[in-house]
Amino acid sequence: MKRNAVLVLLCLGVVLGLTSCGAGSGGPSAADAAKLVAEADAELLALSNQAGQAQWIAATYITQDTEAISASLTEKAIQAGVKYAKLAAKFDGVTVPPDVARKLKLLKNGLVVAAPGDPKLSAELTKITSGMEAHYGRAKYCPTADNCQDIGQLGKTFAESRDAAKLLDAWKGWHATAKPIRADYVKYLSLANQGARELGFKDSGAMWRSKYDMEPDAFAKEVDRLWEQVKPLYVSLHAYVRNRLRAQYGEQVVPADGPIPAHLLGNMWAQSWDNLYPILAPPKADPGYDLTEILKARKATAEQMTRMGESMYLSLGFSPLPKTFWERSMLTKPRDREVVCHASAWDVDNVDDLRIKMCIEPTGEDFFTIHHELGHSYYQRAYNKQPFLFRDSANDGFHEAIGDTVQLSMTPEYLVKIGLLKSLPPESADVGVLMKRALEKVAFLPFGLMIDQWRWKVFSGEIKPEQMNATWWELRKKYQGVAAPLARTEEDFDPGAKYHVPASVPYTRYFLAHLLQFQFHRALAEKAGCKQPLYRCSVYGNKEAGKAFEEMLAKGASQPWPETLRLLTGKSEIDATAVVDYFAPLKKWLDEQNAGKPTGW
């Protein structure tokens, strides 16, 4: 049976002019492999561009028609990806040049969602995935008939309100919007797993983990190793925050030694806690400025904030964004239609049609976010001379880390240089500056880890459909030390209230990115000759650091990511000690504050 299956797949290669079929066939050759990757490079580029245009319209003009068109073109791209993944697998064991071998590997491991070979099932899967994402984009919580709020508006509630009842209502309302997609998600799991198994993977989770230039199980162990490096820092931060929230809301709301109720952490998903800084700030550590207030006072527009972000990259020696970026990006929320406001960076033609989709508000958070999104844009441009199959990041964590690395250079000194601050805060404010950044970066780490811990287990069947919501909260308690503020049942689908779950976006990349950015920052600071503590270093204006950065980016996916990592950092493995080094003064201070009080949960 296996030999017959191979023969059928090789016969499919005849259509592409790759090999002969039937009696006397000599099997696949190196020449066949080279022809395959050339065909794949051209076809997948064309299909990616078509799907990208349709997806852009579907995200910025949400209608049934745009959703259907996007689903159709996305399905074609997915089917082609599956076809080439199956063909590439037939060259296992064939000796080919290194660049061809790399392309074959990327073809086999390049899918996020593998559609089943059955056209009807493939169409069903793409309809489900497009529908779940569109549902998220349309979702609103309507406490009254004339008061409907989308996630952006609800996000403001979490950022600004400290009314526990109001926060609870917003949390409950938004999480209820995910209930309708629970059944679709179960179907999605089955169909996506079927497609992954047709490619030779155990399940979709194993397929996702196979992309990291190591065996799937080895990668899972690597993630565990990295978490253990930073866990003590997170536990110290968690204990301090819990004590302060207990003082804020009372012992009846926040326990002394248990998980923190998820709705009290300043973010819908409790993934970052920086909105709580005003009530968590260390005494006498006020940096003396509020970036949101500065931007509002200056009436900063979305374009102005974006151009300030561009100026950071220009100072490092990167080229200006193309004219079309400013013509085609969606930087503000339109008044006349529904859109997906979730910030994202696009390269629609995979060359220089760079765009950003974001509903920018004059806030410090959005100012940092636009710098992050531009990191994607400059990475996309840096590798656009590579063959299409190499036009991607070294691994997906790299793509998310680039803009965040730049964010780490957005120090008070940087803000002075670009005119947003008049003078530097005193050194006594250092612990406060570190606290604010830790509430964003360190607080995120276990959340960035647990989403795919949940999905890997759901894909593998370790978590059954009838246990999905309960185990979601078990994992959130295990890693984050947070708990649902209300009783939950399996009628709820709380994972679906986070964009990346209905949109099928792997999430471990964000965990890796939150580690890589500090490793990158440490390497860039060394190249810039910074003699200050790591958290004070900014490479703004340093062309030497920028050149080293761009040289790494230009490699794209052309080689295994450890080799690319070594180019900039001198190391071939991710090293979370840079996070520990960066926050060392804060860790010392936190441990002093937590002395004699419970830690952990």
More confident residue, 152 or 246: 246
pLDDT tens track for 490-503: 999 999 999 999 99
Q: Are strands 354-357 and 344-347 parallel, antiparallel or unpaired?
A: antiparallel
Q: What angle do CA 225, 523, 102 make, to 5 degrees?
A: 65
pLDDT greater than 90 at residue 14: no
More confident residue, 93 or 553: 553
In a domain, 253, yes or no: no
In a domain, 120, yes or no: yes
What per-residue confidence (pLDDT) applies to 15? Answer: 29
In a domain, 261, yes or no: no
Average pLDDT over residues 552-580: 97
How sure is the predictor about 468, in pLDDT bands with cuts at 50, 70 and 90? very high
Residue 357 and residue 56 in contact, taking contact as beta carbons nearer than 8 Å: yes
pLDDT greater than 60 at residue 18: no
CA dihedral over 558, 561, 563, 564, signed as positive or negative: positive
Q: Provide the mean pLDDT of the chain.
A: 92
Which of 78-92, 268-282, 452-466 is least confident?
78-92
Percent pLDDT > 70 in the chain is 96
In a domain, 27, yes or no: yes
Residue 395 and residue 212 in contact, taking contact as beta carbons nearer than 8 Å: yes
Domain count, the chain: 1
pLDDT greater than 60 at residue 248: yes
pLDDT greater than 50 at residue 3: no
Q: Name the burial class of residue 130, with classes exposed (0-12), middle (13-18) and buried (19+) by CB atoms within 10 angstroms of its CB.
A: buried
pLDDT greater than 50 at residue 9: no
In a domain, 384, yes or no: no
Alpha-carbon distance 262 to 27, whole Å? 57
Residue 449 and residue 508 in contact, taking contact as beta carbons nearer than 8 Å: yes
How sure is the predictor about 340, in pLDDT bands with cuts at 50, 70 and 90? confident
pLDDT greater than 90 at residue 327: yes
Alpha-carbon distance 216 to 213, whole Å? 9
Q: Which residues are catalytic?
A: 342-343, 372-373, 376, 400, 500, 510
pLDDT tens track for 179-198: 999 999 999 999 999 999 98
pLDDT greater than 90 at residue 97: yes
Angle between helices 396-408 and 508-527 (to 10 degrees): 50
pLDDT greater than 90 at residue 429: no
Q: Two tokens at 367?
A: 């100012």
Range of the domain at 29: 2-132+187-200
pLDDT tens track for 404-428: 999 999 999 999 999 999 998 888 8
Percent pLDDT > 90 in the chain is 84
pLDDT greater than 50 at residue 6: no
In a domain, 108, yes or no: yes
pLDDT greater than 50 at residue 22: no
In a domain, 75, yes or no: yes
Residue with the two structure tokens 């970052």: 272
Determine what percent of the chain falls in helix, strand and coil, rounding each to the nearest 5. Answer: 65, 5, 35
Residue 136 and residue 499 in contact, taking contact as beta carbons nearer than 8 Å: yes
In a domain, 217, yes or no: no
What per-residue confidence (pLDDT) applies to 428? Answer: 81
pLDDT greater than 50 at residue 58: yes
Q: Two tokens at 161?
A: 């309100």
Q: Which helix (H) or strand (E) holds 527?
A: helix 508-527
How sure is the predictor about 1, in pLDDT bands with cuts at 50, 70 and 90? very low
How sure is the predictor about 177, in pLDDT bands with cuts at 50, 70 and 90? very high
What per-residue confidence (pLDDT) applies to 153? Answer: 92
Alpha-carbon distance 48 to 61, whole Å? 19
